[in-house]
Structure 1
Amino acid sequence: MKRAIVVYVEGKRELLLQFGCLYTSYRSIQSKDTDLVVFGPKQTLELLPDECIKIEYDSPYHNYPYLNSISCIASSQSDSVLKNYEYILRTDADTFLTPAWNSFYPVHFTAGLGKYAFDSEVSRKLKDLSRLFGLNHRGIHNIGTSHYGKTTQIKTVCELSLLISEYILAAEFNETEGSWPGWYRGVTSMYSGEIAINHLIDSLVIDPDKLDFSSTSDDRIERHPHIHCWHTDEVFSKFQFAAGNYNHLRMETLNPSIIKDYCTFISLKALIELDIMKSAF
């Protein structure tokens, strides 16, 4: 079995810092069956370590960058490389892998837990849009942003999700941003992913312990293969890290078996080892 972690990275300081941490975590777990596949503009890819599998792709969605990680997989540029993998994890740059990834082989399409459809208006709108498109919505809401499954499944979901996102952005949010936590433009890609997955995926597992687990947790790393940095200033915070507020910490004082310390340890290790991190700071 061959697997890939797939991300999109463009040359923004915060994304380069985040990717540096993801890459360092990937290198540290020494997975024998997983490649790190990176899509992005040519000038960005030139900054990244050569151990990555690099695919040149400049996303056209500059006004809505949340579609970057979807459109790159849906694009024709992905076909020649992704066909080499049986399973892929589509995720974001602000994530970490832990050693638990090396024994994480779910049988079914797996996602983390999303937090975007707790308002009855949102749930109703998602089902109404599914009917408008002639798609089946099975009533599964709050599907997380990271998706792990067979490559053919991930690509098909991305293709449909991209089309739905384009419609939602044009028809629903052309003149308004909406209002969080109600119907809101900022989570359009989550809406479209939910609609696509409900229609295309017969067996879905939402497992927040395995995907998109919080970087601020005191849990041990053994049960959590994939960590996501959410919008917080608590340790570990991608914002505090980007601000340089962890640079004074000593690695030997951290306990890398605990998630928040693990993320901090990996981020400091990335600062020491990677030129892209040093230049970003």
Structure 2
Amino acid sequence: MVFYRSITPIKNVVTQLPTLKIEKSTANEKSKTIAVDLPLIYQPPLESIVSRALLLFYPNDQQSAFLPEFRWFYRSWIEMMKNESTLWRTDIIVYANEYTSVFKQLGCVYERIRLDRKENAQCRVFPYIRIKDRSSKHKMSSQYQIIDQQRSQRMYQYLRGYGYIDSINTVFEFNSTFLMYDHVLRTDMDCFLTENFARYIPYNNSVLVGHGGYSTEFNSNRLKRIARDMDWKYADKNGLGSTWYGSPSIIYHMSDYTIQAMLHLVRNEFTTPEREHKLGVMLWPEWHFGVLLLYGGHLAINHIIANENLRILLASKLLDQGVTSKDQTDIKKNLRLHLHCWHGDDPFSKFHFKAGRYKAIDPSKLISDTSASGYAMRMALESNAMTLDELRQNLLSIKK
């Protein structure tokens, strides 16, 4: 039987609030007349039991590109858990084409949801067939998958050439794998969890959204017009990223609306040359098919905020932080929870790492480096130097 999530009342944790206050929210929902700054995250009481899931899509057919990223994310997961309460559990959930030897060597369990709040943290793999590989009569690949056949066929028809559709569709189709957790983090693999992630969670029934670097005056106005065409509401929020942290039910809801928006956009707002990637980055940053997922999320989040008044907040200083800062105090003093590799050549650069340009760096010399750049570099280099079995043994060494 799936366990039920426990909700910690906000009144029990008021004294534990951090001083970080960077979002506007409504203090009095009845009158809606007083706008005040409210914190986005808090440290729950020491006796709190917290369960979290990290949602990842892993394309097995692109393993040479994505295995290095999965290894360093896995390594940062272990590092984060060293600082976690003994009562917390944070699982990695991977949706992948196959249960390959990589996952087996890392100790990932297959087709097993969390049933016990006390079970040790696990990497959990669930089988998923990518949109591009589906047929018109596609069937479930997992007992925990729920497929909307009509939508699946429409995605195959219109979005099978868009490589990022699976990263959001897995959240929509596999909600039964994560709705039992208190909080989930939907994230890419080219990311790192920090020590702060081990201690801070969003308020119950809220979602924090990271930063997306796509917004310009042109596409903001265009997306607002598109929302009117769709008869959707619009909350005038911009720069919304694809990293979401918080309520699993709201994140599932967001994934549903995001796919709806992507299907509308691909059919009505992009030409055939754009959909076939023939223009490259010619129209970036004004209007670019490559960030269709971000445009879809933009429309979905704006509509949900304005239409349903759910607490979805931009956490642009907590999530999706860069990995090039040399400031030794930045991660700790600003409560950075999650680092993301942006495009660029400054260290840490995921492109330079994959090209082998950091091989001469000794990761042991970076242990005292608490900058984003140094932390990301150490996690990546250590994950590369370890065998998969050694990474697994590091996980097993965490006793709770």
TM-score normalised according to structure 2 size: 0.65
CA distance in 2, matches of 1:8, 1:256: 30
Q: Deviations over 1:70-90 (max 9, x none)?
A: 110111xx1331122121111
Q: How many correspondences in the alignment?
A: 274
Distance of 1:181 and 1:47 partners within structure 2: 37
CA distance in 2, matches of 1:267, 1:242: 10
Describe the shift of the 1:126–1:225 C-alpha distance in structure 2 as closer, same or farther (beyond 3 A).
same
Measured after TM superposition, the shift of residue 252 of structure 1 is 2.5
2:175 and 2:252 in contact (8 A); partners too: no
Asked if 1:91 is matched to 2:187, the reply is yes
- Aligned match of 1:21: 72
Q: Pick from 295, 298, 309: which aligns with 1:194?
A: 298
In structure 2, distance between residues paired with 1:181 and 1:206: 21
The 5 A counterparts of 1:137-148 are 137-148=234-245
Q: Which has the higher helix share?
A: 1
The code of the aligned residue for 2:293 comes to: S
- What does residue 155 of structure 1 align with? 252
Q: Report the more deviating stretch, 54-63 or 124-133.
A: 54-63
1:237 aligns with 349
Residues 20 and 276 in structure 1, CA contact (< 8 A), matched pair in contact too: no
**SS state of the match for residue 24, structure 1?**
helix
Q: Counterpart of 1:74? A: 172
Residue 276 (structure 1) shift: 9.3
Correspondence for 1:33: 89
How far apart in 2 are the matches of 1:166 and 1:248?
46
Equivalent residue of 2:102, what SS?
A: coil
Instruction: Flag structure 2 segments of 5+ consecutive residues without an equivalent.
Output: 1-49, 109-121, 133-159, 392-400
Higher relative contact order (CA 8 A, sep 6+): 1
> Using a 3 Å threshold, how does the CA distance of structure 1 residues 46 and 196 change in structure 2: closer, same or farther?
farther
| Map of 2:201 onto structure 1 | 105
Are 1:270 and 2:367 an aligned pair?
no
Q: Aligned partners of 1:141 and 1:19: how far apart in 2? A: 29
| 1:114 CA drift (Å) | 1.5
Q: Are positions 1:212 and 2:268 aligned together?
A: no
Bigger Cα displacement from structure 2, 266-275 vs 155-164:
266-275
Is the Cα–Cα contact under 8 Å of residues 52 and 181 in structure 2 kept in the other structure?
A: yes
The structure-2 alpha-carbon separation of the partners of 1:175 and 1:277, relative to structure 1 and needing over 3 Å to count, comes to: farther
Equivalent pair of 1:270/1:277 in contact (CA under 8 Å): no
- More displaced, 19-28 or 194-203? 194-203
RMSD between superposed Cα atoms in Å: 2.0
- Counterpart for residue 114 of structure 1: 212
Partner of 2:42: none
Distance 1:227 1:121, change over 3 A: same
C-alpha separation between the residues in 1 aligned to 2:236 and 2:372?
32
Please list the CA deviations of residues 44-92 of structure 1 after superposition, one character each: whole Å capped at 9, or x if unmatched. x5422224111111221552122221110111xx133112212111110
Deviation of 1:268 (Å): 1.2
Match of 2:123 among 34, 52, 61: 52
Query: Deviation at 1:133?
Result: 1.8
Please identify runs of 4+ aligned residues in structure 1 that moved more than 3 A: 274-278
Shift in CA distance, 276/68, structure 1 to aligned 2, threshold 3 Å: farther
**SS of 2:208 mapped into structure 1:** strand
> Could you say which structure has the larger radius of gyration?
2
For residues 110-158 of structure 1, the C-alpha deviation after alignment (integer angstroms, 9 at most, x for no partner) is: 112222121x331122112211222111111111120112001001110
8 Å Cα contact 1:130/1:195 also seen in 2? yes
Instruction: Give the equivalent residue in structure 2 for 1:180.
Output: 284
Q: Which amino acid aligns with 2:70?
A: F
CA gap 1:276/1:19 in 2 versus in 1, 3 angstroms? farther
Opposite residue 246 of structure 1, the aligned amino acid is Y
Counterpart CA distance in 2 for 1:195 and 1:210 is 22
Question: Residues of 2 paired with 1:217 and 1:98: CA distance?
Answer: 14
1:211 CA drift (Å): 0.3
